[in-house]
């Protein structure tokens, strides 16, 4: 079910960052989990993405920060007695938001949390089950980032007091996020089940969260890491699907394909949404990316754990897009 964009009545703290935010990264649920296998992480992708994030934000060596034992493991965690104060002395400021993938979506869909109705036992149970699932994934992502030496801190929208009204963001206090970034941490937020003033509860998607944070914090650029190379004119599984390399967004929010020039102008961009996806899938992603681009912030949609995602995370696409780079750039039309 599509998630509406936040309303103009959004309540946010009036804090601003002391130094600019370099990048907001969206870890797509389908890229870091096995989306058709309940609560299963794509370990290889998550490990590669975490390494690429470290390379994008930290110059020089770093020290692992996960000193706790993983469930079911007999390994004793390595605790560093001495940490070199010169390590990662001036990292770039990043913020991470991740989707749910095979965590949370199934629970929310089965119980109808996105439709509201907390007075129903099934919905209330589903709300609890959804939050258990998405916060479990959040912890695993934090640990993967911490193992790479990224000082990641988990922040759930529900726990931070974010709420909606008719499924539009109503209250979204970003003060804790700003303070964490200024303190040198990397906040890691996620799509979440939240309270809704009109229907009791709903699902707040990670894409909507990113759009709101981009408007408030104005990063240099935003990267969406997905399980495909970018946005296509139709489902990428179709043999004649065309990768859209550049999409231009007008000031009124409408958008058009700039590259490549489609030979058949009657072809419309077709979007499919998985049956269990309660947050709008690619429809929401493009809509929110366009809202970000309207602010003059470039958005890169690229396949996770590839050389193309590594280039995007390092900020090497802010000028010209290399011919060999595979992905979609969404930016304000000139």
Task: Please report the pLDDT score of residue 71 as a whole number.
Answer: 77
| Neighbouring C-beta atoms of residue 13, cutoff 10 Å | 14
Task: Give dist(CA 147, CA 136) in Å, integer.
Answer: 17
Binding-site residue numbers are 26-30, 100-101, 105, 206, 227, 281, 285
Binding-site residue numbers for substrate are 100, 105, 206
User: What would the pLDDT profile of 230-283 be if each residue is shown by its tens digit?
Assistant: 998 888 888 888 899 999 999 888 888 888 887 654 455 654 444 444 444 566
Which is more confident, 110 or 278?
110
- Longest distance between any two alpha carbons in the chain, whole Å: 64
Which residue matches tokens 């007075």? 119
- The mean pLDDT value for 107-135 works out to 97
Structural domain boundaries in the chain: 19-70+89-219, 229-297+321-334
Task: Give dist(CA 334, CA 323) in Å, integer.
Answer: 20
Half-sphere exposure for 37 (CA within 13 Å, toward CB): 7
Q: Which CATH class is domain 19-70+89-219?
A: alpha beta
CA nearest neighbour of 281 among 105, 39, 121, 107: 105
Checking if the pLDDT of 38 tops 60, the result is yes
Instruction: Look at 123-132, 141-150, 287-296, 304-313 and tell me which has the smallest mean pLDDT.
Output: 287-296
Q: Which two tokens stand for residue 34?
A: 């096995």
* Average pLDDT over all residues of the chain: 87
Checking if the pLDDT of 79 tops 90, the result is no
Task: Please report the pLDDT score of residue 180 as a whole number.
Answer: 97
Task: Please report the pLDDT score of residue 273 as a whole number.
Answer: 42
For strand 231-232 and strand 243-244, is the pairing parallel, antiparallel, or unpaired? antiparallel
Checking if the pLDDT of 194 tops 50, the result is yes
- The mean pLDDT value for 114-139 works out to 97
Binding-site residue numbers for ATP are 26-30, 101, 227, 281, 285
Residue 150 main-chain phi, psi, to 5 deg: -90, 120
Residues 6+ apart with CB under 8 A from 97: 24, 25, 26, 27, 188, 189, 190, 191, 206, 209, 210, 213
User: What would the pLDDT profile of 195-212 be if each residue is shown by its tens digit?
Assistant: 999 999 999 999 889 999
């Amino acid at each position: 079910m599509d998630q509406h964009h936040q309303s103009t009545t959004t309540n946010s703290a009036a804090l601003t960052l002391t130094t600019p935010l370099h990048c907001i990264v969206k870890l797509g649920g389908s890229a870091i989990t096995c989306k058709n296998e309940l609560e299963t992480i794509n370990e290889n992708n998550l490990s590669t993405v975490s390494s690429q994030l470290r390379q994008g934000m930290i110059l020089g060596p770093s020290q692992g920060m996960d000193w706790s034992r993983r469930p079911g493991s007999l390994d004793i965690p390595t605790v560093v007695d001495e940490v070199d104060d010169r390590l990662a002395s001036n990292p770039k400021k990043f913020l991470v938001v991740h989707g749910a993938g095979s965590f949370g979506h199934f629970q929310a869909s089965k119980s109808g949390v996105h439709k509201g109705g907390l007075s129903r036992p099934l919905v209330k149970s589903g709300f609890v089950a959804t939050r258990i699932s998405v916060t479990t994934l959040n912890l695993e992502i934090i640990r993967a980032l911490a193992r790479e030496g990224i000082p990641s801190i988990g922040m759930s929208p529900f726990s931070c007091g974010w709420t909606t009204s008719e499924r539009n963001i109503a209250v979204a206090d970003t003060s804790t996020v700003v303070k964490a970034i200024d303190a040198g941490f990397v906040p890691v937020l996620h799509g979440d089940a939240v309270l809704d003033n009109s229907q009791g509860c709903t699902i707040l998607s990670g894409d909507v969260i990113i759009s709101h944070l981009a408007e408030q914090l104005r990063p240099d650029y935003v990267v969406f890491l997905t399980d495909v190379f970018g946005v296509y004119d139709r489902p990428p599984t179709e043999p004649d699907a065309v990768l859209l390399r550049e999409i231009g967004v007008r000031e009124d929010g409408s958008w058009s394909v700039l590259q490549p020039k489609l030979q058949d102008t009657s072809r419309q961009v077709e979007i499919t949404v998985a049956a269990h996806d309660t947050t709008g899938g690619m429809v929401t992603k493009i809509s929110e990316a366009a809202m970000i681009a309207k602010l003059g912030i470039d958005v890169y949609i690229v396949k996770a754990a590839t050389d193309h995602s590594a280039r995007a995370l390092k900020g090497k696409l802010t000028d010209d897009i290399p011919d060999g780079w595979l992905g979609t750039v969404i930016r304000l039309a000139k």
